[in-house]
Amino acid sequence: MALTDLDKFFLEVDNLSERFIGRLQEAVAIPSVSAEKTEEKRAEVKRMAQFLQAQLEKLNASVTLHDLGSEDVVANTIPLPPVVTAQYPKNHDSHKKTILVYGHYDVQPAVGWSHGGDAFTLTPSEDKTKYYGRGSTDDKGPVCGWLNAIEAYQKAGVELPVNLILCFEGMEEQDSDGFSGFLASSGKELFKDVDAACIADNYWLTDKTPCLTYGLRGTEYFNITITGAGKQLHSGMYGGNVHEPMTDLVILLSKLVDSKGSILIPGIPDLVEKETASEEEIYNKIHYKMEDFYTDIQSKTAAIYDKPSDTLKHRMRFPSLTIHGIYGADASRDMTTSVPPTVMGKFSIRTVPNLSHDDVKRLVTEYVNDEFRKLQSRTTCQVENVGSAPWWRTNSSDPNFAAAIKATVQVYKQKPDLTREGGSIGITVNLQDALAGKSILLLPMGTSTDGAHSGEEKINKENYIQGTKLFGAYFHHFATQSA
């Protein structure tokens, strides 16, 4: 039986697997940490953009580096890393559909790296089934996967069945600073011919079953700052004589959420989209067991819910409030007796339909200020909304998802779970706006065990190589989908 074009592509991916690992090794070796804001460190982020430019040009793509200007850091100004866009082939075929692929080439700092050696050296496990390194799964593995797919089509002698526009940014780990403005000013023109878009910057729900993602929770981040005396005081001399900022802050934080995760801020629960009778079936169909959750969190007793469907719903479709920490207080184990003059509490709310930024900001600010007044304290209280990313949800029944489902079944021999993600990728909504509402799909390469942002970040070799096949199969099936 003659080989199909996809068969040839799959064989070529296997033949080139070591070369593709080498590409990822080169990418990981560039410490493109966007959070390290010095000219020297920022130059490394730009070097990663130039690496992608060189790789794409070798594949005969037309590449542009878009200057985003600069950012002010203390008393210095440093350049923002460029957005890399590429068109493949150089001259698009007007008879083919066009897919926009988004990824990011910056990574988290290597602070706390615990998997031996250097975080920026791609290191195989003893059996070479896993590859450890900063960015290996977030997001350099998937970014390289798109390039791998183009190369495998070329080496197989098979014409890519779609036109591609690739768009890679270098500030995603820093709230995509500069990128949303780039999309607002240039996105609609650059992406005017795009039929659908794909992001590979999330993960399977477990390490067993692939998934496609059609929704993301948003986030609203707040600080509460309480200020009292003008200097640090001795609790023996002043305790009982002054209003203490830490006492007021702890009381306020206790008013935000209860021990079972229920948000106590009036009005927020009422705005959440009501659950429908058919939703239970959606969550029951997802391949997920409580044992998966216990393994994830490394505890059986910390789980609030006993049913997988309840656990999934509170990860994907209900909001949550998390208290992250207190700044300004003594964090040591030592016995200290000081009264801090100013403390700041940090918390965030993961938002879902239909919690808007304006509503959440207003409800939180009004509630915290009301509760503070009830304390009758003479300290001062300031509530600030210091970060925001909107929630996102799309139609999982369109041709874009249908193509990805077919590709997943072909590569992994199983139907993917359809999931919403608990985390946030704020730029998704900006892309949606730039594409005038055209379909966006989240198609993950890595698994829940990859440890993105952790001291042991890795990607499984199988996911990296099979993920490259998945991307190529997705191109094929999207090309043959009816509108």
The separation between CA 82 and the C-alpha centre of its own chain, rounded to angstroms, equals: 20
User: What six digits make up the tokens of 133?
Assistant: 């390194």
> Based on the number of CB atoms within 10 Å of its own CB, is 448 exposed (0-12), middle (13-18) or buried (19 or more)?
middle
Catalytic pick among 106, 139, 248, 457? 106
Q: Is 106 a catalytic residue?
A: yes
Q: What angle do CA 469, 291, 349 make, to 5 degrees?
A: 80
Calpha distance 393→216 (Å, rounded):
6
The separation between CA 255 and the C-alpha centre of its own chain, rounded to angstroms, equals: 29
Least Cα distance to 443 among 478, 483, 401 occurs for 401
Residue with tokens 């640090």: 232
User: What six digits make up the tokens of 92?
Assistant: 């698009």
Please tell me whether residue 430 adopts helix, strand or coil conformation: helix
Those residues whose C-beta lies under 8 Å from the C-beta of residue 338, and which sit 6 or more positions away, are 232, 233, 234, 235, 330
Q: Is 172 a catalytic residue?
A: yes
Partnered with residue 101 across adjacent β-strands are 166, 198
> Residue 401 belongs to what H/E stretch?
helix 399-412
Angle between helix 39-58 and 140-155 (nearest 10): 20
Calpha distance 445→447 (Å, rounded):
7
Q: Strands (DSSP E) along 293-337, which ranges?
A: 320-327
Catalytic pick among 12, 139, 169, 172? 172
Q: How many residues does the chain have?
A: 483
Q: Which residues are catalytic?
A: 106, 172
